[in-house]
Amino acid sequence: MNQSLLTRERRLGMYRKMLLCRMFEDRVNSLFLQGRMPGTIHQAQGQEASAVGVCEALQVGDMLTSTHRPHEHAVARGIPVKFLMAELFAKSTGCCHGKGGSMHMGDAELGMLPAIAIVGGGVPLAAGYALSFKYLKKPSVAACFFGDGAVNQGVFHETINMAAIWDLPVVFVCENNKYGASTVIDSVMKVKTVSARASAYGIPGKTVDGNDVFEVYRATLEAADRARTGQGPTLLELETYRFAGHSRSDPGHYRSKEEVAAWKKRDPIVRFETDALSSGLLTEPEIVDYRASVEAELNDAVAFAESSPSPLAEECLTDVYAE
Amino acid sequence: MKHVIILPDLGQTTSEARIVSWLKNSGDKVAMGEPLLEVETDKATMYLEAYVGGYLRKKLASEGEIVTATNPVAIVTDTPDESFEEEAEARPASAVPAAKPLSVTGTATVVSEPVAAVPAARALARQLGIDLKRISGSGPGRLITSADVERFASRRESPAVAVSTGQENGPLLAMAALTSSSKSSIPHFYVTVDLDVSAAEAWRSRWNETHPHLRASVNDCLVRAASAALAESPRLNVRVTNGKYEQHKAADVLLVAGADSGLSLVPLSDPHAGEFEPYLGRINEALGAAREGKVRQASGAVRPVLAVSNLGMYGVKEFAAIIPPGCSSILAIGAIRDQLVLRKGEVETIKVCSVTLSADHRVVDGIAAAQFLERMQFHLNSL
C-alpha cells in the first residue's frame, strides 16, 4: 500500500509490535525449554504481520476474538506483555488472574475477549459482539481471528451467513497458515482460497499477503470501515505460515524442509527490516536498539511474572460466572 | 557459566521420553535454538533445542535411555574450557514454587538429609515400609508425591509384598497402590476359555486314594499345568520393566493367596518341575505360610511373570484379574462345573472350569495367550 499515508511513528510502531510479538514467543519457548513455564503452548512465530496488521486497524471499543494460538494477537492488541507473561506463569497478576493460561489470553476491557481454544469457537462470539454493537448503535466493530482449520466447521458457515443477512459489523479474519494441526488445507478444501467462500454468503472476500503488515492493515481497515458504516461483514484471508509446529509436542515432520525454508524467506519481520533499510525508514543501529528495548521489556515482564503471587485456593470459584 | 538443559514436559500423555540420538558431541559448539538431541515420546519423535547457546560439555543421558520430564539431560557452558560443577541439580528456578523443607513435628529424630515429600506420600511410604530416600521425586524440586511412592512400590523387585505394619489398613493401602499402579500402567487384555478338567479330576481322585495324607486339589493340578504350559510358551514368558523387555526361561508362578489380613503374593519356582509329590509339598507350604500371614521373603531369583488366582472355591464362574506389578499375565480360575457336551452323537457330562488370562499387551499378544491356554489343556489331559 501507499505507506506514505502512515506516519513514520505509526510504521515504526507496527514494526516494534511485530518484534514484541516474535520475541515474546521466542522468550516463552526458551522459558518452556528451561522448565520455568508450565503447560503446553501453541506458538505463532511467522504470523506477526497478520496479528499486528489487523490489530492496528482496530479502534478503542472494538472487540477481537482469538484462537488456541493467541499470544501474538494479545500482544498486538496492546495488552501489556507483563500481564500476558504472568498469565503464562499462572500468576494472579495475569490477564485472566492466572486461571486461563496460554489458550485463554485476552482482556475484554482492553478489547480482546479471552481466547477460545475450540476450533472456530471465537467466530460466533464475534458475531454476537457485532450484533450487540448494532443493537446498541455503537460505532464499534468485532474482528475475529480463526485458522484455516476452522473454515469447514459448521459454526463458521452459520455465523457468516447470519452476520451477512443482518449486515453485522464484523470482520472475519482467516489466518491461513496452510495446516490445521497436521492437515494440509488443500486436502480438506476444494476451492483454492478461503475468501472464495465469501461469494456464497453475498459478502466481499479477499485474499491478502498475510506476511506484509501494510497489506494486512489496509485490507482490515477497508473491511472495518465497511462494517462501521453499516455495510456488513467481510471475509479476509491472510496467507501466512507458522514457523513452529502446531504445539510444543508437534515436531512438524509433515512439512518439507524446503517449504519451511521458502516461507522463512518471507519472514514478515525480515521483510519489514529489509524494506525499511532500503527506504531509509530504519538504520542498522536503530534495529539493534529496537531489539534491545523489546528485550528489556520482556525481561521486566518475566521478572514481574516470576515475582507475582499464585492465585489463592479461595479464588478457585471467582471469575467463573459473570455477575 | 553453566546451563543445565532439561527435558521439558512435552505435553504428551506421558511425562517420559526416550533419547533416540544425540545430534552434538561433547565439546561441540551449539547455537541457541539448535537441536541438541532427538527424543521419542509416545506420540512423536522430535528435537530438543538448546535454550541457550554455548558448548555442550556433558551428556547426562545416553541414547536409548528413558528420561522423565524436567530431569537434566545435558550441561552447556558459555565458554569451551571453563570448569564446571558436574552435579546437575534439579532446576533452580521453577515454574511452581519450590518445596519448602517440611517441618517435622512429634518425636521424629533428626535426619541428616531431609527428604522432601508430601505428607500423604510420607504416610503411604510408612505403610508400605519404604524408605523415602530410595525414591526419586517427580514433583517440583524433586518433591516426592504419592504417585512416586506407588510407582516405586510397583517396581520393587520382590513380589512378596504381604505387609505387616501393625496397622490394619497397611495391606489395604499396599493393595490400593499396587493395583492402581498396575491397572493404569499396563494395557490389559483378556482371553477366556473353558478348560476340560475331567481328566484332571479323575487323575486327582486316583491320586487322593493312594495318597490320603497328601491330597491334591484341582487347583494344584491347574497351577502345575499352567507352569508346564508357560515353560513351552516363550512368547508369554516375557515382561517389560522400566522400558526394557526381559525374556524368561524359568516357568515360575506367583500365587495370589487369601490371607487373614488381605491378599498375599507367593512366588513358587518352576511348579511343573520334579515329581508331583515334592511339588505338592512345596505349594502347600507356600500357601500355608501365606494364609497365616507370614511374610515369605522371595529369593531374588524367583521373579515370576505369570500369576495365578483362584476364586472357584467361592462358586465364582469366571473373573478377570489385575496383573500384579512385575508380572505380564495373570490366570483367573473359576469354579469347576458339570457341563453337557455332544460327542459322537452321545450326550456326555464333563467337568469344566472357565479360566481368564489377563495379559500385558505391551509384550504379549492374543495368539500367545491362546496358545498358552491350549498348552494348558494339553497338560491337564496328560497329568
Residue A165 has pLDDT above 60, yes or no: yes
Cα A235 from Cα A7, distance rounded (Å): 28
pLDDT in tens, chain B (383 residues): 888 898 887 765 667 788 889 999 999 999 988 889 988 877 778 888 888 899 999 999 888 888 888 888 999 999 998 888 876 654 444 444 333 333 333 333 333 446 788 877 887 787 777 778 778 888 777 788 878 887 777 765 444 444 443 444 556 667 787 888 889 889 999 999 999 999 999 999 999 999 888 889 999 999 999 999 999 999 999 988 777 788 888 899 999 887 766 778 888 889 998 899 999 998 988 888 777 766 444 455 678 999 999 999 889 999 999 998 889 999 999 999 999 999 888 999 999 999 999 999 999 999 999 999 999 999 999 88
Q: What is the mean pLDDT of residues A198-214?
A: 97
Is B97 part of the contact surface with chain A (CB cutoff 8 Å)? yes
Nearest-CA distance B52 → chain A (Å): 8
Residue B348 CB contacts under 8 Å (≥ 6 apart), including other chains? B340, B341, B342
pLDDT value of residue A171: 98
Per-residue pLDDT band at A2 (split at 50, 70, 90): low
Count Cβ–Cβ pairs < 8 Å, chain A vs chain B. Answer: 61
Residue A186 has φ and ψ, to the nearest 5°, of -60, -25
Q: Which residues of chain B have a CB within 8 Å of the CB of A33?
A: 5-6, 8, 48-51
Cα A154 from Cα B140, distance rounded (Å): 43
pLDDT in tens, A15-46: 999 999 999 999 999 998 888 888 778 999 99
The dihedral through the CA atoms of B50, B53, B56, B57 has a sign that is negative
Residue B218 CB contacts under 8 Å (≥ 6 apart), including other chains? B197, B200, B201, B204, B312, B336, B353
Other C-beta atoms closer than 10 Å to the C-beta of A207 total 19
State the DSSP code for A108. G
Q: What is the mean pLDDT of chain A?
A: 94
Q: Which residues of chain B have a CB within 8 Å of the CB of A40?
A: 9-11
Q: Is residue B11 within 8 Å of residue A247, measured between CB atoms?
A: yes
C-alpha cell at B49: 533445542
Q: Is residue B69 within 8 Å of residue B85, measured between CB atoms?
A: no
Is A7 part of the contact surface with chain B (CB cutoff 8 Å)? no
Q: Which residues of chain B have a CB within 8 Å of the CB of A306?
A: 93
Q: Which of B47, B51, B91 sits opposite A251 (nearest CB)?
A: B47
Cα B320 from Cα B328, distance rounded (Å): 14
Q: Which of B8, B50, B52 sits opposite A35 (nearest CB)?
A: B8
CB contact under 8 Å between B48 and A33, yes or no, is: yes
Cα B145 from Cα B118, distance rounded (Å): 6
H helix intervals, A141-283: 154-165, 198-201, 213-228, 257-264, 268-279
Q: Which residues of chain B have a CB within 8 Å of the CB of A37?
A: 95
Residue A292 has pLDDT above 50, yes or no: yes
Is B11 part of the contact surface with chain A (CB cutoff 8 Å)? yes
What DSSP line would sit under A235-273, residue for residue? EEEEE---SS-SSTT---TTS-HHHHHHHHTT-HHHHHH
C-alpha cell at B210: 493312594
Cα B309 from Cα B291, distance rounded (Å): 14
Best CA proximity match to A125, nearest among A168, A167, A94: A168
Q: What is the CA radius of gyration of chain B?
A: 26
Q: Does the interface predicted TM-score (ipTM) exceed 0.85?
A: no
Query: Cell 524368561 maps to which residue?
Result: B248
Regarding predicted confidence, which is higher, A85 or A317? A85
Q: Which of B5, B11, B97 sits opposite A249 (nearest CB)?
A: B11
Best CA proximity match to B51, nearest among B65, B28, B31, B69: B31
Which one of B6, B9, B39, B52 would you mutate to disrupt binding with A, by most A Cβ within 10 Å of its Cβ? B9
C-alpha count within 13 angstroms, C-beta hemisphere, residue A107: 21
Q: What are the beta bridge partners of residue B194?
A: B354
State the DSSP code for A51. H
pLDDT value of residue B301: 64
Q: Is residue A55 within 8 Å of residue A73, measured between CB atoms?
A: yes
Q: Across chain B, where does the E strand assignment appear?
A: 2-6, 16-22, 29-30, 35-40, 45-49, 54-59, 66-68, 72-77, 188-196, 238-241, 244-247, 253-259, 262-268, 306-310, 329-343, 346-360
Is B46 part of the contact surface with chain A (CB cutoff 8 Å)? yes
Q: Which of B6, B41, B51 sits opposite A249 (nearest CB)?
A: B41
Which one of A92, A249, A255, A302 would you mutate to disrupt binding with B, by most B Cβ within 10 Å of its Cβ? A249
CB contact under 8 Å between A249 and B47, yes or no, is: no
Residue A310 has pLDDT above 60, yes or no: yes
Q: Which amino acid is present at A310?
A: S
pLDDT value of residue B112: 40
Is B45 part of the contact surface with chain A (CB cutoff 8 Å)? yes
Other C-beta atoms closer than 10 Å to the C-beta of A196 total 15
pLDDT value of residue B93: 40
Residue B256 has φ and ψ, to the nearest 5°, of -95, 110
Cα A232 from Cα A167, distance rounded (Å): 4
Residue B351 has φ and ψ, to the nearest 5°, of -95, 125
CB contact under 8 Å between B70 and A35, yes or no, is: yes
Is A94 part of the contact surface with chain B (CB cutoff 8 Å)? no
Residue A123 has pLDDT above 50, yes or no: yes
Q: Is residue B300 within 8 Å of residue B269, measured between CB atoms?
A: no
Best CA proximity match to A144, nearest among A168, A174, A164, A117: A174
CA distances from B119 to B103, B122, B144, B171 (A): 11, 5, 9, 19
% of residues, chain A, pLDDT over 70: 99
